[in-house]
Structure 1
Amino acid sequence: MGLKQGERTVADYSIDFRTRASHSGWNSAALRDAFLHGLADYIKDELVSHDTSLTLDGVIDLAVRIDLRVQTRRREKRQGEIQHTRPPRSRGGAAAANSTPLGQQFEDPEPMQLGRTSLSLEERERRRKSNLCLYCGAAGHYISGCPAKARAHQ
């Protein structure tokens, strides 16, 4: 019960927690409650609006996803503050006048969105590392076999 997330990411905390939990002999409900107890306050605050009666694996997955989103949002805020304090960098020549400021460049349009938007680099990388579909974000398939993409294009 003394294990805490502290300054670590939820993913790092969960690895340490699972290692210790495997030797505890506690049942799954007790492990889930101990995991929730050790989370940092900012994660607990976000979990208030979610169902935490999930299994330990479900709670860990939810907490990791929330932590990734919170960290991404913090980076976005910092980048926004930086962009407001500095003018966009020039790339030189006539092309620079028509160029997009840093942070607003897009690789591919994100599916299922209107207009020209894209997944953030962090979200794209997270989905790739987690073997999630780049179109809908679900597990079990890739963009080439995405049922949501197929429905959207019918």
Structure 2
Amino acid sequence: MGINSLVSNVSTTQTVKGFKLEFLAAFGNPDATRAAKQKITTLTQSSTCADYITKFRTLAMELDWNNAALRGQFAHGLHWEVSRQIAMRKHHPWTLLELQNAALVINNALCEEHASHLPKDNKPSKQSNPARGTSTSQQATSSKKLSNNPNNVLEEERNRCRTAGTCIKCGKMGHKFAECRTGWKGTPIEDGAKKESAKIGTESGPTLGKD
């Protein structure tokens, strides 16, 4: 009788544990589900799209939402620039996976575009506040000197050259700035202007003397 009672107790204990495991497997943890629902409804893309997708998928695993609900919530938390680009597409993604892939591609393209517009050298120009005693002619001469740094070209000019596919240095096509062997496009014009000015001064000198 004692053995049967012991076996019965062990069997009952195992049944309770099994029931608990089966219950959690079927219905999940109510507290975890409630917490995941609260987090996913407030989740937004605060950094990269890949990081947002990872966090969203982790929370979605705790929920029993259908594809439409998950897709709508994911779109709601996207960065506004990414959402605008997706809305402008002719073919809208119909599944959560398609939406996530499209958002990832668009986000990467936007990051590359923003990075291309950032100045490569953020150091302030020393010529912005020239020291006292520097003559106007010296300032003008030093401001005309061009170096091999493309940042001396205005940002608008650099963007125009990138769009046209021309070299920032010489303005010609077929090569990039680092491969340019022609020279700065502003240098020959300035030299020519100096020679022309010197020539005019030489020819006009004797005429004024005779008068």
Query: Normalized against structure 2, the TM-score is what?
Result: 0.38
- Alignment correspondent of 1:69: 109
CA distance in 1, matches of 2:71, 2:150: 45
**Structure 2 unaligned runs (5+)?**
1-40, 126-147, 152-173, 177-211
Pair 1:33 & 2:66 matched: no
CA deviation vs aligned residue, 1:70-101 (integer Å, no higher than 9, x gap): 0011100004686xx88xxxxxxxxxxxx895
Q: Percent identity?
A: 29
| Pair 1:101–1:25, CA change in 2 (3 A) | same
Query: Normalized against structure 1, the TM-score is what?
Result: 0.51
SS in 2 for 1:63: helix
- Alignment correspondent of 2:97: 57
- Alignment correspondent of 1:93: none
- Alignment correspondent of 1:94: none
* Structure with the higher fraction of residues in helix conformation: 2
Q: Which residue identity is paired with 2:96?
A: L
What is the Cα deviation at residue 43 of structure 1?
1.1
Q: How many residues align?
A: 95
RMSD of aligned Cα (Å): 3.0
What is the Cα deviation at residue 67 of structure 1?
0.5
What is the Cα deviation at residue 116 of structure 1?
6.0
Q: Which residue identity is paired with 1:57?
A: L
CA distance in 2, matches of 1:81, 1:32: 41
- Alignment correspondent of 1:42: 81
| Pair 1:15–1:47, CA change in 2 (3 A) | same
**Structure 1 unaligned runs (5+)?**
87-98, 103-114, 118-154
Pair 1:23 & 2:62 matched: yes
CA deviation vs aligned residue, 1:110-149 (integer Å, no higher than 9, x gap): xxxxx668xxxxxxxxxxxxxxxxxxxxxxxxxxxxxxxx
- Correspondence 1:54-133 to 2 at 5 A: 54-79=94-119
CA deviation vs aligned residue, 1:2-28 (integer Å, no higher than 9, x gap): 2111x2111100000000011111011
Moved more, 26-35 or 73-82: 73-82
| Pair 1:32–1:22, CA change in 2 (3 A) | same
Larger Rg computed on CA atoms: 2
- Correspondence 1:114-153 to 2 at 5 A: none
